[in-house]
Amino acid sequence: MSYFLKRTENNLWHGKFSTFPEDLITHAVSTRIGGFSKSPFDSLNLALHVGDEPADVLANRKKFVQSLGFDVADIVTPNQVHGDKIFRVDDNYRGCGCTNYADSIPETDALITNTPALPLMLCFADCVPIFFVDVENQAIGLAHGGWKGTLKKIAAKTLLKMGDEFGTRAEDCLIGIAPSIGACCYEIGGVVVDKCKAAFPNNYRELLIERDGKIFLDLWRANVIQLLEIGVSKENIDVAGECTCCGSSWYFSYRAAQKKGFDRTGRIAAFIALK
């Protein structure tokens, strides 16, 4: 395991995968610490669509993006809808969604690019952020996998799309599965159980974990399995293994917020750019 948290000069934290080449890409997972938003978005909420004060979110985005050496006006963000649409972006999309949610890339849950210095950013509160780094063809991707996206196999589809667009080969691609809700906390109901069995007919037994008469879904493993199935090397998949619900003092977690009686919370972000 090579995920670690690094403190920045402006008192933020960057969650990072040591397996990713620093000379080729800049990447980080944000935490909830060090921002300007008030409860229940305290404090580094990076999402514009959750009901937080836009001025606070923009101040947070500016602080986080600057801490990575980029300008907030350059980031590209989608309007995430738990689907499996993957969209290739280039310089024509620079800044889409950076300050105005209405001009985000519409209804998209994964972005891919081979344009240098074009940062991709997606937002999360328990769903799984999946990073893709193709060193060979200098291309990157970032996907959002909640239970819907994971069962629609958005991780595998993102990599296959990188293959179509950039020539990415599964066996060469580096993957990072960032902090998100773990099987320790992700209790699911019967509908999701049935969909999981249909999506993973050969593997659902290891994905559905029974405990105290409840069923929990292992989203991390479900994403790993679908990547192994298309030829990704086991040693190239790095799973952070940190649960956002258990670690809700560090990360925004929708389930943890619900337990505390909040119906809203902030979002952490996953960020990646080619140099």
**Binding residues for Zn ion (CB under 5 A):** 182, 184-185, 243, 245-246
How far is Cα 92 from Cα 14, in angstroms, rounded to an integer?
28
Query: Do 252 and 267 meet the contact criterion of CB atoms below 8 Å apart?
Result: yes
Question: Is 112 or 245 the residue whose CB approaches Zn ion more closely?
Answer: 245
Minimal CA–CA distance to 124: which of 157, 146, 108, 151? 146
How far is Cα 121 from Cα 114, in angstroms, rounded to an integer?
15
CB of 182 to Zn ion, least distance (A): 4
Question: Is 104 or 248 the residue whose CB approaches Zn ion more closely?
Answer: 248
CB of 219 to Zn ion, least distance (A): 11
How far is Cα 271 from Cα 35, in angstroms, rounded to an integer?
17
CB of 220 to Zn ion, least distance (A): 11
What does 115-181 look like in DSSP terms, one character per residue? -BT--EEEEESSSEEEEEEETTTTEEEEEEE-HHHHHTTHHHHHHHHHHHHH---GGG-EEEE-SB-
CB of 181 to Zn ion, least distance (A): 7
Question: Is 98 or 125 the residue whose CB approaches Zn ion more closely?
Answer: 125
Distance of CA 49 to the CA centre of its chain: 16
Question: Is 57 or 219 the residue whose CB approaches Zn ion more closely?
Answer: 219
Minimal CA–CA distance to 110: which of 147, 156, 67, 74? 156
Question: Is 193 or 246 the residue whose CB approaches Zn ion more closely?
Answer: 246
Question: Is 47 or 243 the residue whose CB approaches Zn ion more closely?
Answer: 243
How far is Cα 33 from Cα 162, in angstroms, rounded to an integer?
33
Query: Do 45 and 52 meet the contact criterion of CB atoms below 8 Å apart?
Result: yes
CB of 223 to Zn ion, least distance (A): 16
* Paired tokens of 143: 């996907």
CB of 253 to Zn ion, least distance (A): 9
